């Protein structure tokens, strides 16, 4: 995880190559009470968890905005990954 160059978001990348089936990800996120989907496309999903807003890409990359610090961004990323884990293909 690192702070983006414009310092407006934290960028999270997985260590290995990951491919997400965005339709299945959408289904898992809709069932969860922790997330609100703002935008859905076959290539990315923008979702809200509390105050945090996350853009989740098909390759597993996340941009997490509206968090106070890296620790909060890490917690949001872990929560998202835990929710969508069954949809991940490596």
CA–CA separation, 30 and 81 (whole Å): 14
The residues, ordered by sequence, that sit 6+ positions from 26 with a Cβ below 8 Å of its Cβ are: 37, 40, 45
Please check the confidence at residue 71 and state whether its pLDDT lies above 90: yes
CATH number at residue 70: 3.30.310
| Average pLDDT of the residues in 57-76 | 94
**pLDDT band at residue 2 using 50, 70 and 90 as cut-offs:** confident
pLDDT at 87: 75
Provide the domain count of the chain: 1
Domain holding 20, by residue range, is 2-89
Do the bridges between strand 36-40 and strand 19-20 make them parallel or antiparallel, or are there none, so unpaired?
A: unpaired
């Amino acid at each position: 995880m690192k702070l983006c160059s414009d310092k407006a978001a934290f960028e999270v990348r997985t260590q290995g190559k990951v491919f997400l089936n965005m339709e299945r990800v959408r289904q898992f996120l809709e069932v969860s009470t922790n997330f609100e989907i703002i935008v859905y496309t076959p290539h990315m999903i923008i979702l809200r968890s509390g105050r945090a807003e996350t853009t989740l890409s098909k390759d597993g990359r996340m941009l997490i905005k509206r968090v106070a610090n890296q620790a909060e961004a890490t917690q949001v990323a872990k929560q998202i990954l835990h929710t969508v884990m069954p949809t991940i293909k490596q």
